[in-house]
Amino acid sequence: MSENFMVVDFCSSKIVLFLAELGPELKIKNWTPIPVDQDTIRSGQIYNLENVASKIRKGIEETTGKSRYEPADVYIGFSDPEVEFLSSIGMAACGTPDNPSEITEKHLDQAITSSRAVKLEEGRVIVQTIPVRFDVDSKTDIKNPKGMLGVRLEVKSALITAKKSSLLNFKRALEKAGIYAERFAYQPVAEIFELPSEEEKENGILIIDIGRDLTNYGVITENKLQLAETLPVGGIHINKDLKHYFNITIDKAEEIKKKYGQLTFSETEDSEYIDLNMGSMKTNKIKRDLLVKYISERLSEIFEFIKERLIQNDLKDKITFIKITGGTSQIEGIEKLAEKIFNITAEVYTPSREIEKLTGNYDIPVLNSLCSSLAILLFAHRNLTSGVSYSADLSVMKNVKGIFKKMFGK
């Protein structure tokens, strides 16, 4: 019998649980989305641990049908604007110029471990180490250096660092719910690896996932991870803007955003005003062009910020395609706004291809708001099936063994 594994993805508006079977195919056994409010989880951080733990405990019962359940492996998906993405070089000496030796898994581990030897701010830990490119002596950009003869192996790694305290809170919430977890996966990393096709990753792609409180984004060009970050702005900020400008409640703002939110306004097709049906109490009508303006300003701010980050990292001209996803990507015309700002072709991405990859009886709706959780699920499966242990430095554990295997399946 195959072992089960579990994914607990902490989004801003919900926690998503997946129970799946660990085999060559990714078989879903069950799944449960758990809605959470802003007093419970905000901007990627737990604000009410007891509440999170009890919701997860109930979620686990619902997902597994058991009150006590211990899956073999648990992955925690998370996203946090305080995560930092660093590039670092590591190396391993393999032989002498007169006597170059064969590069083994041990050398790869050594090089990757040395790339992790960076000085971090107090309280910060490396959550994920992703080898991005290898060089052996004068040969650069080698996909798989194992077995080659060389003197000096160099690796460029992407390091994802996060605040230890926020990771420990996720871990604690799960422990209180009865499950032990030590594997973390940062949502933008999982999304940029799992959502695009191989061709898109080669040609250069930017993925933007706009959720409730946060926006995740990641870049891969020439099949190499270039950037993965989180911005503390999301759909809730549109609601706050609409509340402020139209003098309406947050709930009404959410409602009209979903119902009428759009980024193109046609004077000939659309009526000038939207009737809010609120009686005579408060604002009863809002101007449609103003709604477009306010939504557009907030989304432009997000896109402009990301564009600036691309320019700073010399990536802007290396991207040929943008995929926009997350709940907020459902605002009509969002891809047109992105195209205008980035001057790159953009599309709204719905995860039907990811869902097709899953087998099992549990129908998962094709929703943009599930993209990060599906990406974490696929990422976890890929990691586990290639036999990798993927731990954050929460204790003394520094486990990089097998990372190479995970990356290339070799």
Closest CA to 235 of 258, 218, 263: 258
Q: Count of alpha carbons within 13 Å of 337, Cβ hemisphere only?
A: 24
Phi, psi of 53 (to 5 degrees): -60, -45
- For Mg ion, which is the closer residue by CB, 63 or 372? 372
* Assigned token pair, 48: 């009410």
Report d(CA 356, CA 364) in Å as an integer: 10
140's enclosing H/E stretch is strand 139-142
Options 57, 212, 252, 288; binder of ligand ADP; rule CB under 6 A: 212
Q: Which of 71, 145, 326, 351 binds ligand ADP (CB under 6 A)?
A: 326
Taking CB within 5 to 8 Å according to partner kind, which of Mg ion, ligand ADP, none is near residue 14? ligand ADP
**Cβ 76 to Mg ion shortest distance, Å:** 16
Out of ligand ADP, Mg ion, none, what residue 171 binds, judged by CB under 5 to 8 A for its kind, is none
Radius of gyration for the chain, computed over Cα atoms and rounded to the nearest angstrom = 23
Any idea which residue has 């009686």 for tokens?
A: 279
Nearest to 221 by CA among 133, 129, 138: 133
**344: which DSSP letter?**
S
For ligand ADP, the closer CB: 131 or 211: 211
Q: Are 336 and 242 in contact (CB under 8 A)?
A: no
Alpha carbons within 13 A on the beta-carbon side of 331: 34
Rounded-to-integer distance, Cα 372 and Cα 251, Å: 25
Binding span for Mg ion by CB under 5 A among 2-10, 16-24, 160-168, 211-219 = 211-219
| Closer CB to ligand ADP, 161 or 328, in the complex | 328
Q: Kindly tell me which residue out of 6, 7, 8, 13 binds ligand ADP, with binding defined by CB under 6 A.
A: 13
CA–CA distance, 389 with 186 (Å, rounded to integer): 15
Which 158-177 residues touch ligand ADP, going by CB under 6 A?
none
**Residue 131 binds ligand ADP, judged by CB under 6 A:** no
Among 44, 150, 211, 261, binds Mg ion (CB under 5 A): 211
Q: Which of 115, 327, 354, 375 binds ligand ADP (CB under 6 A)?
A: 327
**What would the two tokens of residue 229 be?**
């970050």
254's contact among Mg ion, ligand ADP, none, with CB below 5 to 8 A by partner kind, is ligand ADP
Stretch that binds Mg ion, among 31-39, 116-124, 203-211, 398-406 (CB under 5 A): 203-211
Using alpha carbons only, give the angle 36, 379, 347 rounded to the nearest 5 degrees. 75
Which among 131-139, 158-166, 298-306, 327-335 is the span making contact with ligand ADP, rule CB under 6 A?
Answer: 327-335
Residue 12 engages ligand ADP in binding (rule: CB under 6 A): yes
Give least dist CB 205 to Mg ion, A: 18
Any contact of residue 27 with ligand ADP (CB under 6 A)? no
Asked if 351 touches ligand ADP (CB under 6 A), the answer is no
Q: Which is nearer to ligand ADP, 257 or 316 (CB)?
A: 257
Which residues, numbered 355-384, are part of the site for ligand ADP (CB under 6 A)?
Answer: 369, 372
CB of residue 326 vs Mg ion: minimum separation in angstroms?
4
The interface with ligand ADP within residues 277-296 (CB under 6 A) comprises: none
Cβ contacts of 100 within 8 Å, gap of 6 or more = 94, 137, 149, 150, 151
Does residue 211 bind ligand ADP (CB under 6 A)?
A: yes
| Binding partner at 12 among Mg ion, ligand ADP, none, C-beta below 5 to 8 Å by kind | ligand ADP
Quickly tell me which residue has 């549990």 as its tokens: 362
Q: What share of the chain is helix, strand, coil (3-state, %, to 5)?
A: 35, 30, 35
326 near Mg ion, rule: CB under 5 A: yes
Residue 323 · residue 209 · CB < 8 Å: no
- CA angle in degrees (0–180, nearest 5) for 65-392-188: 80
AA identity, residue 141: D
45 binds ligand ADP (CB under 6 A): no
- Footprint on this chain of Mg ion (rule: CB under 5 A): 11, 211, 326, 369, 372
- Footprint on this chain of ligand ADP (rule: CB under 6 A): 11-14, 211-214, 234-236, 254, 257-258, 261, 326-328, 330-331, 369, 372
